């Protein structure tokens, strides 16, 4: 269904980009540059402190967004994520949707922020440069990013001890 595609696009977007709830809720169609199959796209977001940044969209995020937006003939100024009634999805509704799927997946007590955290952890696992992670997450200070990184390392250590 259309809502299933929307929800998948939402979750992929959070997981593959580490965007904040407010950033995703504020997205307009004109903010997206979806790649052709198999290459990198981009999304421009308004981050904290009115700072605009561009984040890469991998093929998974692009595919999910393309599938969701397939039938939409809307101007670039319309919101990416719409409710059943055609209005913009509120941050609250986005949180509810994400929580529903995380609960179904057996992840309890999780939220949109958990997905941001998961994204950061994956980047650390891949050995991504701290500055690149900082840029992706839109952190003003490298200090904030290094907290994420040390948390990610702790989690990795826990999971590596059997």
- Options 20, 66, 68, 117, the catalytic residue: 20
Catalytic residue from among 3, 4, 48, 125 = 48
Q: What pTM does this model have?
A: 0.78
Q: What is the pLDDT of residues 57-86, one digit of tens each?
A: 988 899 999 999 998 888 899 999 999 898
Q: Catalytic annotation on 148?
A: yes
Q: Is 117 a catalytic residue?
A: no
What are the tens digits of pLDDT across the range 119-143?
888 788 888 888 888 787 877 777 8
How many CB atoms lie under 10 A from the CB of residue 9? 21
The phi, psi pair for 81, rounded to 5°, reads -100, 115
Strand, coil or helix: 56: strand
- Tens-digit pLDDT profile for residues 20-45: 999 999 999 999 999 876 678 999 99
Does residue 101 carry a catalytic annotation? no
């Amino acid at each position: 269904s259309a809502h299933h595609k929307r929800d998948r696009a939402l979750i992929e977007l959070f997981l593959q980009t580490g965007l904040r709830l407010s950033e995703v809720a504020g997205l307009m169609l004109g903010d997206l540059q979806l790649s052709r199959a198999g290459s990198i796209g981009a999304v421009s977001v308004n981050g904290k402190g009115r700072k605009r940044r561009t984040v890469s969209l991998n093929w998974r995020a692009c595919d999910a967004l393309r599938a969701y937006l397939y039938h939409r003939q809307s101007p670039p100024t319309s919101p990416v994520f719409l409710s059943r009634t055609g209005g913009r999805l509120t941050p609250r509704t986005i949180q509810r949707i994400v929580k529903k799927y995380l609960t179904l997946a057996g992840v309890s007590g999780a939220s949109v922020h958990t997905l941001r955290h998961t994204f950061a952890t994956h980047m650390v696992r891949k050995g991504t440069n701290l500055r690149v992670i900082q840029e992706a997450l839109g952190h003003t200070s490298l200090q904030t990013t290094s907290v994420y990184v040390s948390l990610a390392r702790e989690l990795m250590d826990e999971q590596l001890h059997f």
